[in-house]
Structure formats: structure tokens, C-alpha cells
Amino acid sequence: MGNSISILQANTLELHYWVNDNSHVIDAFVQNKCEKELLDILSEIANNLAVSISIETMPLADGGVRRWFKIVSQVENKKALITIALITAIATGIIVTPITSTIDAIMQNAIELIFEDKELKELQKENLKLDIELKNIELLRKQKIQNKLEKKRSNFYAELDKGKNITQISLGAQNNNHQTIIPETFVLKNNFQSFIITSYDLEPEIIEGAVIEIISPVLKKGDYKWRGIFNGESLSFNMKSNEFKTLVQTGSIEFTNGSSIRCLLRINKRIDSNGEEKITEYDILRVDEYFKSTQPIETPEGKKYRQTKEAEKLQGKLFEM
């Protein structure tokens, strides 16, 4: 890379599909779906950096199938120049880095690449305000955003893997004159699986002391869902506490209008095909108390849990002495 070429000029992704039959042809459905995922990645990064962009394509070229995607800011200033370069660098890094590396690490590498650039340092010397807003970069580091980007990358390679004559892809970044800014990185077809997520289940959210108003308890044996209200929202949930189910089904506990329970709640989540985090199920793992009118009544399993926690706390204090 020559001294006159700066990372800040990076604004175009070159995606190259390499094929094994010298036909310069790939399945149109595979190409369309892959490029949709790539465009979604670019849009997601731009949206979370609070920058409005358009993406321009250029004619196909020989040598396999080559595609260019030019990122254009809706405003023209130094900050936009830097942000477009950052989007380009992050997107390139995400696409060619397997799932063994975190999205956060990829973003950090891109940010360091931008801020190490000589041209940027010269601009800073001129006291130009070049604040790629840290709050927006931090938004990109939120787990929900990273999950979405990972899923989009996974979709990209899952579709690529369907291309029977595709042997590899390469991705790099260029400037307006098609000069190389970020060299091509190659990914062989036998490595595509390293980019594909096989499980979309997320770590469940565990809430201690969740209070749920019971709308519809299950009074008969069987795998039926209860209904209740949690944080103002109606939900269906699985009562996983067999002890509490038995107390209800034998009539030891009766529910009236407005009855509530205090419990250990597990919220199960997964990533859908669009990379969005979705709740799949609510599970009640333990019921500590139920309320008769406004009076809390401790359940046997709640009492056992409380006594265990108190004993652990006491033991911890003894060790501190």
C-alpha cells in the first residue's frame, strides 16, 4: 500500500465468488440471498453508528463473479468520511472472521486500524473535530447487536455453502479508484462451516423473586401452560415446580382474583432468522411464596431455599472471622 493511500479512503467492498468451472456463473438465488445478508450487515452497522447511507452496486466482472458495493454517506464532511471507512472496515472484518472470534474484538481491530492512520493523525493536528461518537460505537458492542451481526454472517455462509460450483470467496476494500485499501481475505468452501452458527439458543435470563399475577392456573395433571401477568404483560409459562403443582392440584392452595406468586423465573431466548432476539418460553423453576389477599405465604420449597441461603451466608461469616 502506497504512502498516499489512506484507510480513510475505504468505501467499497469487493466480494469475489470463485467458481470451479470457469463459467463466471453462480446460482442467482444463492447470490441474491448472500448479498441480502451482506447489505443487512452494512445497514445494521450504519444504523447503530447513527449515520444515513446508501449502497451503490457496480457491474459484474470476470474472474469468477465479482461484485462491488460502494457505501455513500448522505452528508459530506470529515466525520462522514471516517464513519464510512469504519463501516467498511468493520463489515470486512465480520464477513471474513469465523465465529471463534468475537464481534467485539473485530470492532476493536477496525477502530484501531482507523485511528492509527497517518491522515487521521494529520487531521487531528489541525484541530478538526473528528468525534466518531463513542456512544454510538458502544451501541455496536451491545450483545443484541453482536448476536444479530453473527446471525447475518452465519446466514451469508449457509447460503454460500449451497452454491455447488463455488470453491471460495474473497473480500477486500477499495477506494473510489478501485485501489486496494484492505487486501482481500480468502475463505475456502471447506471452511464455510466455521462461520455458521449451529445453535441459536441464547443463555437464558434468570430472575429471582419475580412476582407473577396468576390469571389461569392449571388444576389438572398434564403438560399444560399456566397464564399470568409479569411486568404488566400477559404471558404463558411452564410450571416446572412439581411440588407447587401438586399443592394446587390437591386443593392445598387455591387461587382467587388477583392471586400472585413470588418465584424463580427462567426466560428462554434464541436468535431468529433475522438475527433478532426472541423469547421462546417462560419457565417457573421454584415458587417461594404465594399471596393470599396481600399476605405472603411461604411454600415448603421456598422455606427450604431460604434456609439454605441463610446457612450459606452464616457459614461465609464464620470463615471471615
Consecutive 10-residue runs of the chain (321 residues): their mean pLDDT?
Answer: 73 93 85 96 90 87 82 83 90 94 87 79 56 56 82 95 94 93 95 90 93 92 91 95 93 88 95 85 96 89 92 74 59
CA quadruple 107, 110, 114, 115: dihedral positive or negative? positive
Instruction: Report the 10 Å Cβ neighbour count for 144.
Output: 13
Give Cα separations from 77 to 111, 131, 133, 147 (angstroms): 19, 12, 15, 31
Which residues partner with 33 through β-bridges?
none
Q: Are 217 and 226 in contact (CB under 8 A)?
A: yes
What end-to-end distance do the CA atoms of the chain give, in Å?
Answer: 65
CA geometry: angle at 197 spanning 164 and 169, to 5°?
40
pTM for this predicted structure: 0.74
Which pLDDT score is estimated for 273?
79
Q: Domain residues of the chain, as ranges?
A: 7-195, 205-320
Q: Are 277 and 321 in contact (CB under 8 A)?
A: no
CA geometry: angle at 88 spanning 85 and 93, to 5°?
125
Q: Are 141 and 104 in contact (CB under 8 A)?
A: yes
Show the cell assigned to 20: 470451479
| Number of residues assigned to the chain | 321
Which pLDDT score is estimated for 131?
55
* Radius of gyration of the chain measured on its C-alpha atoms: 27
Helix (H, G, I), strand (E, B) or coil at 97: coil
CA quadruple 253, 257, 262, 264: dihedral positive or negative? positive
Q: Are 67 and 59 in contact (CB under 8 A)?
A: no
Which pLDDT score is estimated for 2?
44
φ, ψ dihedrals at 61, nearest 5°: -130, 160
Q: Residues 287-319: pLDDT tens digits?
A: 999 998 788 999 999 999 999 988 888 877 666
